[in-house]
Amino acid sequence: MNIPNFNKCHVLVVGDLMLDEYVWGDVDRISPEAPVQIVSVQREDYTLGGAGNVVNNLVALGANVSVAGVIGDRSDGKRLIEKFNDLGADTGGVIRETGRLTTRKTRIIAAHQHVLRIDRETKKDISGQTLEFITEFIEKKIPVADVVLISDYGKGLITKALLKSITAAAKKHKKITIADPKGFDFSKYAGISLLTPNKKEAALASGIEITDESDLLKSGHKIFEIADIDNLLITCGKDGMVLFDRNRSPHQISAQARQVYDVSGAGDTVVAMMGLAAASGLSFEEGAALANTAAGIVVGKVGTATVSREELILASHTHSDHSLLKHKSLSDLPTLIQELKNKGKQIVLTNGCFDLLHAGHIVLFSASKQLGDVLIVAIDDDASVSAIKGPGRPVISAKERVRILSALDSVDYVIIFSSEQLKTLIEIIKPDILTKGSNYTSEKVVGHELVEQFGGRVVLFPVSEKISSTHIINTIKSNDAVNAI
Instruction: List residues with catalytic annotation.
Output: 268
* Dihedral sign computed on CA atoms, order 59, 61, 65, 68: negative
Q: Alpha-carbon dihedral of residues 186, 188, 189, 190, nearest 10 degrees?
A: 110
Residue 199 assigned ligand-binding role:
yes
Residue 56 assigned ligand-binding role:
no
Of 336, 308, 319, which is closest to residue 412 (Cα–Cα)? Answer: 336
Query: How many C-beta atoms surround the C-beta of residue 354 within 10 A?
Result: 25
Q: Pairing mode, if any, of strands 37-50 and 17-30?
A: antiparallel
Residue 7 assigned ligand-binding role:
no
Of 132, 176, 169, which is closest to residue 11 (Cα–Cα)? Answer: 176
Can you state the angle between helices 213-226 and 199-206, rounded to 10 degrees? Answer: 60
Indicate the burial class of 394 (C-beta count within 10 angstroms; 0-12, 13-18, 19 or more): buried
Three-state DSSP at 78 gives: helix
Edge-to-edge strand list for the sheet holding 347-352: 327-328, 413-417, 374-380, 347-352, 433-437, 457-461
Mind giving me the DSSP string for 410-445? T--EEEEE-GGGHHHHHHHH--SEEEEETTS-GGGS
Residue 342 assigned ligand-binding role:
no
Distance CA 25, CA 38 (A): 9
Element spanning 218, H or E: helix 213-226
Q: Pairing mode, if any, of strands 241-245 and 231-235?
A: antiparallel
Binding residues for ATP: 198-201
Binding residues: 198-201
